[in-house]
Structure 1
Amino acid sequence: MWRAIHRLGSPAIFYAVAGRLQPWCWALAIALLLAGSLWGLVWAPADYQQGDSVRILYVHVPTALLAQSVFVLLAAAGGVFLVWRIKLADMLAAAIAPFGALMTLLALVSGALWGLPTWGTWWVWDARLTSMLIQLFLYLGVIALRGAYTAAESGARASALLALVGVVNVPIIKFSVDWWQTLHQAATFSLVRPPSMPASMWLPLLVMVAGFYAFFVALALTRTRSEILRRESRTRWVRERVARTTGKAAR
């Protein structure tokens, strides 16, 4: 198994494997997002207290979950790069960091839109909201550090270190509702208790969450392949692949 994982760490092999998986991931993501959007935003019932404003959760919950998951993956990739010097891990980190920042921003904006009719204000210095804002700054710091150094490897190490340090904020986001008195409601999904909403509402939410994660996987594969081509442009296998692609296009 370790040999297979180490083999997949080769940019050339990952590029080929990702190319085969990519179309299936995009197709799955589009199907799930279309189904979840229609089900949640059109057919699902309104909440008896929040009314139609509850539909914001069909975007807010997936983006908030992804914002945290992507940062954990970012830290894991940074750790792999720092310990084993696997350059593919750094390529993955560079590819997914902007997406994680975007998901964090969308989670904050959608949360504000939901909070205005629910709490009567678009922002409070709630523990969950504040820790999510800190995560956005951490994402921006990771992205900025990568480009702040003349030597690319120094920037990669600095951003990986910040990701490893910043990942401690993820459990704070997760458990802030339990640790402190906050306005934010408890988690919608839990492994230890049933959902707090009827199946007609949490099932489309589950489809949307799956769709967002499938979209992330598809985008990560696509962006990592582009990053591989950019960094490995001088290698023989990339030149041969480009030559084959150019030859096919010419024919």
Structure 2
Amino acid sequence: MFGLANPDRFMRVTRGLTAPLWALAAILLAAGTWLAFAAPEDYQQGDTVRIMFVHVPAASVGLGIYAALGISSFFVLIWRHPLADAAARAAALPGAVYTGLALVTGAVWGKPMWGAWWVWGDARLMSVLVLFLFYLGYMALRSAIEDEARAARAAAVLGLVGLINLPIVRFSVDWWNTLHQPASLLRADGPSMTGEFLWPLLTMMAAYGVLFLALWLTAIRTEVVRRRVRAIQARAAWRA
């Protein structure tokens, strides 16, 4: 991992990874979508159960993306490495999109199940909303400060603070009474759902995860190139 912290080495290693990741993400998304529509209706939820195959992967991967952002922010503050800053910055927009998708699909799913689009007192809903706001705050802070070094440090502090919210999101259904059901996948006695729903869900989760990796690597590589171009332009302007 620390070897990849060198931008030149990172660019060489990841040059051949992005295209296969994009292809694998497309294959997994196609397979997951087919499995989701092939799954039977739920005896209680009917066809609305298919929202699960979008909502749960988006929420889970959105949570994982913030963990990547927070860890990258830690490396920014400790070692002030530009590649870690590029990684944190590249994770923010996909993370916000995934988390926003989880909020929207959760509202669509919640209306027929709970009779309401949104419940302000629900711990899971509120903690995911806070996660979404941390993503937006990170991007807004980066944009508000012109000096890149200062922006990187300030955003890294915010990124680290946001890590406090991750266990709250994860364990909110265990710590408080919420409308959300307890965990169905990560259980000591194994998943509680049958294979006809489990395999489409796992496939979509894999698809969302690989898609993020493809987006993340592409965005980091683009950021590295952008910074190199800016450095060349700055040297040219100084010599002129």
TM-score bin, normalised by smaller chain: over 0.9
The equivalent position to 1:231 in structure 2, one of 218, 223, 227, is 227
Shift of 1:197: 1.4
Write the mapping of 1:56-71 to structure 2, written as runs, cut at 5 A: 56-71=51-66
Shift of 1:117: 0.6
The equivalent position to 1:142 in structure 2, one of 127, 138, 142, is 138
Residues in 2 aligned to 1:228 and 1:62: alpha-carbon distance in whole angstroms = 29
Amino acid paired to 1:35 = A
The equivalent position to 1:185 in structure 2, one of 159, 169, 181, is 181
Structure 1 residues 234 and 120: CA distance shift in structure 2, 3 A: closer
Matched, 1:211 2:239: no
Write the mapping of 1:97-108 to structure 2, written as runs, cut at 5 A: 97-108=92-103
Residues in 2 aligned to 1:222 and 1:93: alpha-carbon distance in whole angstroms = 13
Q: Tell me the TM-score normalized by structure 1.
A: 0.89
Corresponding residue number in structure 2 for 1:13: 9
Write the mapping of 1:125-204 to structure 2, written as runs, cut at 5 A: 125=120, 126-204=122-200
Corresponding residue number in structure 2 for 1:72: 67
Residues in 2 aligned to 1:139 and 1:193: alpha-carbon distance in whole angstroms = 34
Shift of 1:194: 2.0
Residues in 2 aligned to 1:146 and 1:235: alpha-carbon distance in whole angstroms = 19
Shift of 1:136: 0.8
CA RMSD of aligned residues (A): 1.2
Residues in 2 aligned to 1:69 and 1:128: alpha-carbon distance in whole angstroms = 16
Report how many aligned residue pairs link the two structures.
231
Give 4+ residue runs of structure 1 displaced > 6 Å after superposition. none
Q: Tell me the TM-score normalized by structure 2.
A: 0.93
Corresponding residue number in structure 2 for 1:95: 90
Amino acid paired to 1:199 = G
Residues in 1 aligned to 2:63 and 2:196: alpha-carbon distance in whole angstroms = 26
Residues in 1 aligned to 2:219 and 2:87: alpha-carbon distance in whole angstroms = 8
Amino acid paired to 1:69 = G
**Is there any run of 5+ residues in structure 1 with no aligned partner, and where?**
237-251
Corresponding residue number in structure 2 for 1:55: 50
Amino acid paired to 1:89 = A
Matched, 1:111 2:111: no
Residues in 1 aligned to 2:23 and 2:145: alpha-carbon distance in whole angstroms = 38
Q: Which secondary structure does the structure 2 equivalent of 1:197 belong to?
A: coil
For residues 13-47 of structure 1, the C-alpha deviation after alignment (integer angstroms, 9 at most, x for no partner) is: 2112111111111111111110001101x201111
Corresponding residue number in structure 2 for 1:85: 80
Residues in 2 aligned to 1:60 and 1:7: alpha-carbon distance in whole angstroms = 36
**Is there any run of 5+ residues in structure 2 with no aligned partner, and where?**
233-240
Structure 1 residues 15 and 144: CA distance shift in structure 2, 3 A: same
Residues in 1 aligned to 2:134 and 2:189: alpha-carbon distance in whole angstroms = 32
Shift of 1:191: 4.4
For residues 133-181 of structure 1, the C-alpha deviation after alignment (integer angstroms, 9 at most, x for no partner) is: 1111111111111111121111111111011011110100100000001
Residues in 2 aligned to 1:16 and 1:235: alpha-carbon distance in whole angstroms = 20
Shift of 1:6: 2.9
Matched, 1:24 2:20: yes
Residues in 2 aligned to 1:43 and 1:60: alpha-carbon distance in whole angstroms = 17
For residues 195-219 of structure 1, the C-alpha deviation after alignment (integer angstroms, 9 at most, x for no partner) is: 2211011111001000100000011
Shift of 1:84: 1.1
